[in-house]
Amino acid sequence: MKNPKNILITGASSGIGEALSLFYAEAGRTMFLCARNEERLNAVEERCRQKGASVYAKVLDVTDEASMRDWIFDSDEIAPLDLVIANAGVSAGPGGPEGETEAQTRQIFSVNVGGVLNTVLPAMQKLRLRKSGQIAVISSLAGYRGLPSAPAYSGSKNAVRAWGEALRGWLAPEGIEVNVVCPGFVASRITEKNKFPMPFFMQADKAAKIIAKGLSKNKGRITFPFPLAFASWLTGAMPSFIADVVLTRLPKKGA
């Protein structure tokens, strides 16, 4: 979509969500933002208002299905949604030799997959009635192949990627655009915890510009940076016996 007027973004208090909120905020736009951290969300809300946007911010947990549905329906009543960005996500952090715990695994899937479902499914109901609109889901280059150092994170992002790509084909005949965003390492509260090498590390404002450009062109997959995207794609396409060797040589979390 070239010029969305009414935009909803989850996980808007930091990282890519914050950067996208600030990128899109301008006079004539209505922004609906949610996050769990009230202090950071209020700060983003104020900065968006200073840029001229009308802003409605709400403290929400994306795993709360009923609250998310109510918020999205209420937002759409205020201003019919043009663009919905399901961005909220978590990881297990740097971890340790024991790997992701059971609690971390369940939490990661609940937020990264359940949170996307709780955002997209209610939004779809409204967009399909109008036969217009755009949905972006934030996956990751980690979703191209299961990573031994982050099974739950890479698994959850793989699910989001596959579901988003399937939705794109399903909803296109109804006039709804669906885009899957697969970033590499971007400055965020997730990556700031990492204690391992992060090649081609990128600031969030630069990532937001790349994402917004891809959305304006309705690109099916928005992947970046190119060297890491190509390496991730190649690893995903490798036969298992080769990928197993490559992936076991990657730096371990906490190393």
The answer to whether residue 109 is domain-embedded is yes
pLDDT of 200 reads: 67
pLDDT of 164 reads: 99
Residue 86, classed as helix, strand or coil, is: strand
> Residue 55: pLDDT band by 50, 70, 90 thresholds?
very high
What are 144's two structure tokens?
Answer: 């191209």
CATH of the domain at 73: 3.40.50.720
Owning domain of residue 226: 6-248
Residues with catalytic function = 153
Cα separation, 66 vs 26, in Å, equals 30
CB-based burial of residue 255 (10 Å sphere; 0-12 exposed, 13-18 middle, 19+ buried)?
exposed
pLDDT of 99 reads: 75
CA angle 2, 82, 126 (to 5 degrees): 150
The answer to whether residue 1 is domain-embedded is no
The answer to whether residue 255 is domain-embedded is no
The answer to whether residue 253 is domain-embedded is no
> Residue 255: pLDDT band by 50, 70, 90 thresholds?
very low
The answer to whether residue 79 is domain-embedded is yes
How many folded domains does the chain comprise? Answer: 1
Q: Tell me the pLDDT tens digit for each residue of 12-44.
A: 999 999 999 999 999 999 999 999 999 999 999
Q: Tell me the pLDDT tens digit for each residue of 88-109.
A: 999 876 555 667 899 999 999 9
Q: Tell me the pLDDT tens digit for each residue of 205-218.
A: 999 999 999 999 99
For residue 253, pLDDT beyond 50: no
DSSP 251: P
Using the Cα atoms of residue 30, residue 183, residue 174 and residue 61 in order, give the sign of their dihedral. Answer: negative
